[in-house]
Amino acid sequence: MPGDFFGLSFWVGLLAWIPATGLILVAVRQMIMTELSGAGGLFVISAAIGLAVMAVKPPQPGFGWVYLLLLVGFALMVPVAGHVVEARAHAKIDQESIAKVYRSLQVNPKDLGAIATLAKKLHERGLPGHAIAILENALQGQSGRGVKAELDLLKYWKGQPLRQEDFRPLPCSKCGHKNPAGVLFCVGCRSPYLRAYASSWVYGGPGEKLLVAWGLLTLGTVAIPWGIKLLPPIGSILLISAFAVISLFILVWAFRRGDRA
């Protein structure tokens, strides 16, 4: 019956190799450019091949298109993953510059250049209230040409709309003290608490949450149909429950980390 061979399932299986081949080529290229580790590359390649094989031969006949969709989604996640890598690199640079600020403050606690750098980073990272209060404290009683750039920046920041939330106290990761805006060292334990706070910028961006959610969806869509096919009914129920519980934990964890950023 040639009709069966060239029906919808046939085309789904054939189409699936387009995103799969694209993913494999991207993974190989990234591995050559050392932007992707060997393990990461192998994971992408085997996932692409696995999903394509499942699209050709789905565990439940007629559902190959589900795996085709997963492959297309997988390909769409490539730029998201690239963005995550870039955002992490950027966060690392910011984190290092804040560590440098605190080293300068150990030498000169009134180092205006260092304090202004810190304030700018905090402003960029969505803490305008803290940025304003820190810069204002540092500029207190100062005037003249030497501090004109900083005074102008402060004036500009203060001219922008601010919310109550922008001045929310930030907890110290060491002692838990909630420090009000404008404080450079924790009021509770004197530690450079903003340096520790900056480390939370490296993880938990929106792109990462999307990747985690996507990974879980893919895993569930692959594992559950196989479980139903291969396991006795009680095994399938256990598998689905275990998957639901684990997914919930991972999602809560991913979003919790994000809240700190």
Shorter beta-carbon distance to Zn ion: residue 54 or 198 = 198
Find the binding residues for Zn ion in span 184-213 (CB under 5 A). 186, 188-189
Shortest CB 167 distance to Zn ion, Å: 19
Q: How many CA atoms lie within 13 A of 59 on its CB side?
A: 14
CA torsion sign, 137 to 140 to 146 to 151? positive
Per-residue contact flags (x/-) with Zn ion for residues 146 to 175, judged by CB under 5 A: --------------------------x-xx
Q: How many residues bind Zn ion (CB under 5 A)?
A: 7
Least distance (Å) from Zn ion to the CB of residue 150? Answer: 27
Cα-Cα-Cα-Cα torsion 193, 130, 128, 176, nearest 10 degrees, comes to 50
Asked whether position 177 contacts Zn ion by CB under 5 A, the answer is yes
Q: Which residues contact 247 (CB under 8 A, 6 or more apart)?
A: 216, 220
Per CB under 5 A, does 59 bind Zn ion? Answer: no
Q: Looking at beta carbons only, is 90 or 174 nearer to Zn ion?
A: 174
Q: Is 160 helix (H, G, I), strand (E, B) or coil?
A: coil
For position 50 contacting Zn ion by CB under 5 A, the verdict is no
Q: How far apart (Å, rounded) are the C-alpha atoms in residues 49 and 256?
A: 33
Shortest separation between residue 38's beta carbon and Zn ion, angstroms: 41
